[in-house]
């Protein structure tokens, strides 16, 4: 399986780590998977670009390990590390907004890519919702970084999440409507993003062509 490793966006890693990752992709039993996991997670929490795509390399390693040894050591370490970070997310948010945003992006990306029998991992559904709900809180809506993260995740995994648990999606959108309507001090960009996501979901996780023109026509120019 010759996937160009550029696909995995690992250029931001130091050279030794890159070699380790490339080996993990081809021959997982020959490397220390806990260490590989650690490197990936650490980088995901620092690098905004990588956190958006880290799910893919994780998925490939999980598959490679399953095929080679039938094990899922890497996945286990990954999930448990995710859980650790989840448990201290409030602390993380306070000390570094960027790390918090990276974490949410990362966990959503994992949710998107790592499936179990082609179904999303049930164990992650509530944690992901918890993160998104946090982003929809009034104090988070005042930060464009957090709003941006929130709408990005909903674009990518909103439909899957809703299928997994519709009630919590309803709750999330109650908060979003409230924020849009009632919260003072939101920037016009924030309100634009919120309005777009409200329309996006209302349209069944698809934006009508007219709405698309409204929101994105300036980009096309």
**Using CB under 8 A as the criterion, which residues of the chain lie in contact with another protein when the complex forms?**
66, 69-73, 75-77, 79-80, 82-83, 86-87, 90, 116-117, 119, 121-127, 130, 133-134
For the CB of residue 115, give the shortest distance to another protein in the complex, in Å.
10
For the CB of residue 136, give the shortest distance to another protein in the complex, in Å.
11
Give every CB contact of residue 148 below 8 A, 6+ residues apart in sequence.
193
For the CB of residue 193, give the shortest distance to another protein in the complex, in Å.
22
Q: Which of 106/200 has CB closer to another protein?
A: 106
Cβ neighbours around 155 below 10 Å, total: 15
Helix/strand/coil for 116 = strand
Q: Which of 128/207 has CB closer to another protein?
A: 128
C-alpha separations of 20 from 13, 36, 80, 174 in Å: 10, 7, 21, 45
For the CB of residue 91, give the shortest distance to another protein in the complex, in Å.
12
Q: Which of 19/116 has CB closer to another protein?
A: 116
Q: Which of 137/177 has CB closer to another protein?
A: 137
For the CB of residue 202, give the shortest distance to another protein in the complex, in Å.
26
- The residue whose two tokens read 């934006």 is 207
- Separation CA 189–CA 5 (nearest Å): 35
Q: Which of 48/79 has CB closer to another protein?
A: 79
Cβ neighbours around 102 below 10 Å, total: 25
- The residue whose two tokens read 């094990």 is 71
- Separation CA 131–CA 102 (nearest Å): 12
Q: Which of 66/195 has CB closer to another protein?
A: 66
In eight-state DSSP terms, residue 163 is H
In eight-state DSSP terms, residue 5 is G
For the CB of residue 139, give the shortest distance to another protein in the complex, in Å.
13
């Amino acid at each position: 399986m010759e996937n160009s490793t550029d696909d995995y966006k690992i250029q931001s890693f130091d050279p030794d780590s890159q070699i380790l990752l490339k080996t993990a992709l081809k021959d997982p039993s020959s490397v220390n998977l806990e260490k590989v996991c650690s490197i990936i997670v650490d980088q995901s929490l620092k690098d905004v670009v990588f956190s958006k795509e880290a799910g893919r390399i994780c998925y490939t390693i999980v598959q490679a390990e399953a095929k080679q040894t039938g094990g899922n050591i890497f996945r286990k370490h990954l999930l448990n590390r995710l859980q650790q970070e989840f448990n201290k997310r409030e602390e993380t948010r306070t000390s570094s907004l960027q790390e918090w945003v990276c974490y949410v992006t990362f966990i959503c990306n994992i949710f998107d890519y790592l499936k179990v029998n082609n179904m999303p991992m049930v164990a992650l559904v509530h944690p992901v919702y918890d993160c998104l709900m946090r982003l929809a809180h009034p104090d988070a809506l005042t930060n464009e970084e957090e709003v941006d993260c929130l709408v990005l995740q909903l674009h990518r995994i909103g439909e899957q999440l809703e299928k997994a648990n519709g009630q919590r999606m309803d709750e999330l959108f109650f908060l979003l409507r409230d924020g849009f309507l009632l919260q003072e001090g939101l920037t016009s960009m924030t309100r634009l993003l919120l309005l777009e996501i409200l329309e996006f979901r209302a349209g069944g996780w698809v934006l009508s062509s007219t709405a698309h023109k409204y929101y994105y026509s300036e980009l096309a120019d």
